[in-house]
């Protein structure tokens, strides 16, 4: 080949290479089709940009074997030092038993709650909020009628879609109530411009209370942060309790405490059921602790599932396979009559409506959250049907649960047909007033066969020198506990080395010394 031809050929290849390179660069720099463009034209993305915490939590790969480690990794509250937090830290550092108990009670629910918070990009300190609210007791209730681990009030629960009727209360359902709590906390946090301390205060006291307090302080030229607001003693103690607890959970050794590990995997799974079933009977056939199944499905008001739905049960993962097999062997419950809705007509009374549908006034009031018997023409009422609420399995299961609660807090007496408060008091060598007081019952209370009554008899009183251990329930106050056992508030504080009532927490155990008179 001639030199000039070789030169022309070389030039051709060089030009071709340049063109190919430019073509490749053009392909690399071409923007890919966006997700928004790929969506149907009638759907537009509306989610705000994900927060740094949300991105961090979503990137988490779940390498932690201990659930507490994952929770503390997702903390996002500001680091704060305050005398009220320190006071709670001192109390916690002297109450290993309290930490043990709330850790144990939270075990069935904590993984689910933490996972929901992480999926929604929320601070993981919020997984500890049910400890402050209820000690993770799904049956916790307050004098103001708040229920469940998240302690939803009836009205707030309905606002967030929690079904409440004769059969079922979503406020006690761990899945439904956690979903509602996540949505409520997100709404509150938006309302208070991302300030989590104001959010938590509003969760306790109500958003209206916090907004009014902020407005008052702003008019007076005062600070509008949580620590500056004139709030109730309860709310002023509530936020520091959560902050102190989060510090202890993050570093228990610093406070000379031990925190039992919780496996970082699901505790329960969902099993669908096609018809109403007896929970106690199903638990017995699947060899599951009836109390455990009842606690996981606390949304059901009785031992029978809601005939109107939800048609599902939460079952421990380890028992799910055996439980599913047992469902096919369960005898069918007699079809439950659910009368449905009824519109009030002129002349109707609750008594007449209850008689017509074969139910009771109390059942209709409970199903419709009625405070009295007054009705309005055109009002829609949900009429509950009748069902075998107290099967022999359920009664036996209740007895087993009561026996597990006995420990050294007292004994439980099962009411038999024909019993009265006077006969029970005589059998147990105590007084009617004591029975009413110990069980927080009014003077006109009625007894039902199978009902459990707490009895602090002589044998119990004399055990450990007349000492008993009382576990604080949600809604308890020091005054209420003192009256219950006929002792003084100051004595209770002294016996338990507690400085004042602000140190009292649901789930905490108190030592109480009974005198001969009680």
Nearest to 227, CA basis, from 418, 24, 91, 78: 78
Q: Model confidence at 328, in pLDDT bands (50, 70, 90)?
A: confident
Residue 80: inside a domain: yes
Q: Model confidence at 438, in pLDDT bands (50, 70, 90)?
A: confident
* The pLDDT of residue 149: 96
Residues 345 and 413 in one domain: no
Residues 6+ apart with CB under 8 A from 83: none
416: left (phi over 0), alpha (psi -120 to 50) or beta: beta
* The pLDDT of residue 136: 95
Mean pLDDT score of the chain: 78
Residues 358 and 316 in one domain: no
Scan for tokens 């993981």, then name that residue.
124
- Token readout for 416 is 């038999």
Instruction: Please tell me whether the overall predicted TM-score, pTM, comes out greater than 0.85 for this model.
Output: no
Rounded average pLDDT over 254-278 = 89
Residue 243: inside a domain: yes
Among residues 133, 258, 292, 398, the one annotated as catalytic is 133
Residue 118: inside a domain: yes
Of 195, 220, 255, which marks where a domain is finished? 255
* The pLDDT of residue 35: 26
Reply yes or no on whether the pLDDT at 179 is more than 60.
Answer: yes
Clarify whether 133 is annotated catalytic.
yes
Reply yes or no on whether the pLDDT at 83 is more than 90.
Answer: yes
Q: Which of 224-228, 253-257, 426-430, 511-515 has the lowest mean pLDDT?
A: 511-515
Q: Which of 29-33, 70-74, 111-115 has the lowest mean pLDDT?
A: 29-33
Residues 82 and 225 in one domain: yes
CB 150 within 8 A of CB 178: yes
DSSP state of 495: H
Rg (alpha carbons) of the chain, rounded to whole number: 30
Q: What angle do CA 229, 178, 251 make, to 5 degrees?
A: 65
N-term to C-term CA, the chain:
121
The residue that leads in pLDDT, 21 or 339, is 339
Residue 393: inside a domain: no
Query: Which CATH number fits the domain that encloses residue 474?
Result: 3.10.350.10
Domain count, the chain: 4
Residues 142 and 282 in one domain: no
Residues 280 and 179 in one domain: no
Nearest to 453, CA basis, from 490, 407, 477, 419: 419
Residues 116 and 89 in one domain: yes
Long-range contacts of 272-275 (CB under 8 A, 24+ apart): 272/311, 272/312, 273/305, 273/311, 273/312, 273/313, 273/327, 274/311, 275/307, 275/311, 275/332, 275/333
Query: Which CATH number fits the domain that encloses residue 119?
Result: 1.10.530.10
- Token readout for 38 is 């790929």
Residues 448 and 368 in one domain: no
Summarised one tens digit per residue, pLDDT across range 92-147 is 998 898 999 999 999 999 999 999 999 999 999 999 999 999 999 999 888 788 99
Residues 364 and 215 in one domain: no
DSSP state of 164: B
Longest dimension (CA), the chain: 128
Residue 11: inside a domain: no
Residue 296: inside a domain: yes
Residue 128: inside a domain: yes
Beta-bridge partner residues of 341: 382
Of 255, 280, 314, which marks where a domain is finished? 255
- Token readout for 340 is 């449905």
Residues 203 and 323 in one domain: no
* The pLDDT of residue 515: 58
Residue 508: inside a domain: yes
* 221: exposed, middle or buried (Cβ count in 10 Å: 0-12, 13-18, 19+): exposed
Residues 6+ apart with CB under 8 A from 373: 349, 350, 351, 361, 365
Helices 361-368 and 350-357: crossing angle in degrees, nearest 10, is 100
* The pLDDT of residue 423: 86
Q: Is the peptide bond before 496 cis (omega within 30 degrees of 0)?
A: no
Task: Provide the residue count of the chain.
Answer: 518
Q: Print the domain residue range for 356.
A: 340-383
Residues 250 and 283 in one domain: no
Summarised one tens digit per residue, pLDDT across range 46-66 is 334 445 555 554 555 457 889
d(CA 164, CA 169): 4
Residues 356 and 447 in one domain: no
Residues 88 and 146 in one domain: yes
């Amino acid at each position: 080949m001639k030199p000039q031809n070789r030169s022309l050929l070389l030039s051709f290849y060089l030009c071709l290479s340049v063109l190919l390179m430019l073509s490749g660069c053009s392909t690399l720099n071409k923007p890919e089709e966006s997700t928004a463009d790929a969506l149907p034209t009638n759907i537009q993305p509306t989610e705000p940009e994900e927060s740094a915490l949300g991105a961090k939590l979503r990137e988490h790969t779940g390498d932690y074997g201990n659930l507490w480690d994952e929770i503390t990794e997702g903390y996002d509250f500001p680091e704060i030092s305050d005398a009220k937090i320190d006071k709670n830290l001192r109390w916690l550092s002297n109450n290993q038993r309290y930490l043990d108990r709330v850790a144990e009670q939270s075990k069935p629910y904590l993984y689910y709650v933490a996972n929901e918070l992480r999926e929604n990009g929320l601070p993981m300190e919020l997984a500890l909020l049910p400890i402050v609210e209820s000690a993770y007791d799904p049956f916790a209730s307050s004098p103001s009628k708040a229920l469940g681990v998240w302690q939803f009030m009836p009205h707030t629960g309905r606002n967030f879609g929690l079904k409440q009727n004769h059969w079922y209360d979503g406020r006690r359902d761990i899945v439904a109530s956690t979903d509602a709590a996540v949505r409520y906390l997100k709404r509150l946090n938006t309302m208070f411009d991302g300030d989590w301390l104001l959010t938590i205060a509003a969760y306790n006291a109500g958003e209206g209370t916090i907004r009014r307090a902020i407005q008052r302080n702003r008019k007076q030229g005062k600070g509008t942060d949580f620590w500056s607001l004139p709030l109730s003693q309860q709310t002023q103690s509530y936020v520091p309790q959560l902050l102190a607890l989060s510090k202890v959970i993050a570093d228990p050794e610093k406070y000379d405490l031990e925190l039992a590990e919780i496996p970082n995997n699901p505790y329960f799974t969902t099993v669908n059921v096609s018809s109403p079933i007896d929970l106690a009977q199903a638990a017995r056939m699947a060899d599951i602790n009836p109390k455990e199944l009842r606690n996981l499905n606390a949304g059901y008001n009785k031992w029978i599932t809601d005939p109107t739905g939800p048609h599902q049960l939460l079952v421990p993962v380890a028992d799910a396979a055996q439980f599913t097999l047992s469902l096919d062997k369960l005898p069918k419950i007699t079809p439950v009559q659910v009368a449905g809705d009824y519109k009030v007509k002129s002349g109707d009374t609750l008594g007449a409506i209850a008689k017509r549908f074969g139910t009771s006034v109390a059942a209709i009031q409970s199903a419709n959250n009625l405070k009295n018997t007054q009705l309005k023409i055109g009002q829609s009422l949900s009429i509950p049907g009748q069902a075998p609420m107290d099967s022999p399995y359920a009664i036996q299961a209740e007895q087993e649960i009561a026996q597990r609660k006995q420990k050294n807090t007292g004994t439980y007496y099962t009411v038999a047909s024909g019993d009265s408060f006077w006969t029970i008091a005589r059998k147990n060598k105590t007084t009617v007033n004591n029975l009413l007081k110990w069980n927080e019952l009014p003077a006109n209370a009625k007894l039902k066969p199978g009902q459990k009554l707490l009895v602090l008899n002589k044998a119990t009183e004399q055990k450990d020198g007349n000492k008993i251990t009382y576990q604080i329930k949600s809604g308890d106050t020091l005054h209420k506990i003192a009256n219950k056992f006929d002792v003084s508030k100051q004595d209770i504080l002294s016996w338990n080395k507690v400085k004042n009532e602000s140190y009292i927490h649901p789930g905490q155990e108190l030592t109480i010394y009974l005198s001969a008179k009680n």
